[in-house]
Amino acid sequence: MSTEPVEDLAEVSVSEAPVAVQAVQWFSQAARQLQDAAGWHDTVQRIVELAAALVEADLAVIIASSPADDRPRVLAATDFARADAMLAGQNTAGVVPARQAMADRAVIHVPDLTVQGSWSNRQAGTLSVPLRCVLAFPLLIDDQPLASLGLYAQQPGAFSDEVVELAASFAEHAAIAFNAAALAEKITNLTVALEHARDIGAAVGIIMGLLHITQSEAFDRLRVASQHRNVKLYEVALVTVHTGEVPG
């Protein structure tokens, strides 16, 4: 999708109206998907899935840091294995754009990691996962960063100025959904939440291997089981991790 954000529909011309309507419809559908999520971990997973679809990213990740060691970890990703490999390389290189977005409370857009000045000088550990273009947003509530949404593409210059603006609008919605879901589930210990995210990623990997299905399909298995059993998503994931069984 490559539409432009519209702040005031009353100012939209007749020729721009179809584009504006498309954007409004997409955001309405995204809001419903986030509202229907099965708990906080499902909410953050839906955020990355929606963000990746919105800007056609090759990888979307939400990271956060544990108060215990300030080391960024993956909370949700469209590809857990790829996200872990990328973040490990970035940690080794000592530069994590998504964490920098949180620290600066600002958008970071690097069209090409191999030629972008100071960024390119510190990317040796990141290019084992060939993602050249990065766009990162802090998820802010009352100017306090909760986490960071990172969008990555293999193609340099993949995110145009219009896409950046559209993704920035979605990041604001994502921060609200992230915070509301955390409050609803009373998530106060981020360290525990991060550990649960690792369990979910492990469970998804197990299900993918056993059933030979995609990550999205494997995660849907956890979602459905969580909703049907009326238990938290990470609790379903823990059963799979401990038993190796696919949730029915």
SS3 194: helix
Cα 180 to Cα 102: distance, rounded to the nearest angstrom: 19
Tokens in use for 201? Answer: 């990623």
For position 1, what pLDDT does the model report? 42
**Closest C-alpha among 205, 210, 204, 194 to residue 225:** 204
For position 6, what pLDDT does the model report? 41
For position 14, what pLDDT does the model report? 42
Work out the number of other CB atoms within 10 angstroms of the CB of residue 2: 12
- Apex 28 CA angle, 24 and 31, nearest 5: 140
Cα 102 to Cα 228: distance, rounded to the nearest angstrom: 36
Cα 208 to Cα 203: distance, rounded to the nearest angstrom: 9
For position 122, what pLDDT does the model report? 53
What's phi and psi for 168, nearest 5 deg? Answer: -65, -40
Tokens in use for 247? Answer: 């949730």
Crossing angle for the helix pair 40-55 and 161-184, to the nearest 10 degrees: 170
DSSP letters of 125-178? TTTTS---EEEEEEEEETTEEEEEEEEEESSTT-S-HHHHHHHHHHHHHHHHHH
Helices (H), 185-214: 190-211
For position 10, what pLDDT does the model report? 45
Work out the number of other CB atoms within 10 angstroms of the CB of residue 114: 11
DSSP letters of 17-65? HHHHHHHHHHHHHHHHHHHT-SSHHHHHHHHHHHHHHHHT-SEEEEEEE
Tokens in use for 98? Answer: 């998504």
pLDDT of the chain, 248 residues: tens digit per residue = 434 444 444 444 444 456 667 888 888 999 999 999 988 999 999 999 999 999 999 999 999 987 667 778 899 999 999 999 888 888 777 778 888 999 999 999 999 887 756 565 455 444 555 788 999 999 999 999 989 999 999 999 999 998 999 999 999 999 999 999 988 887 767 777 888 899 999 999 999 999 999 999 999 999 999 988 888 899 999 999 999 999 87
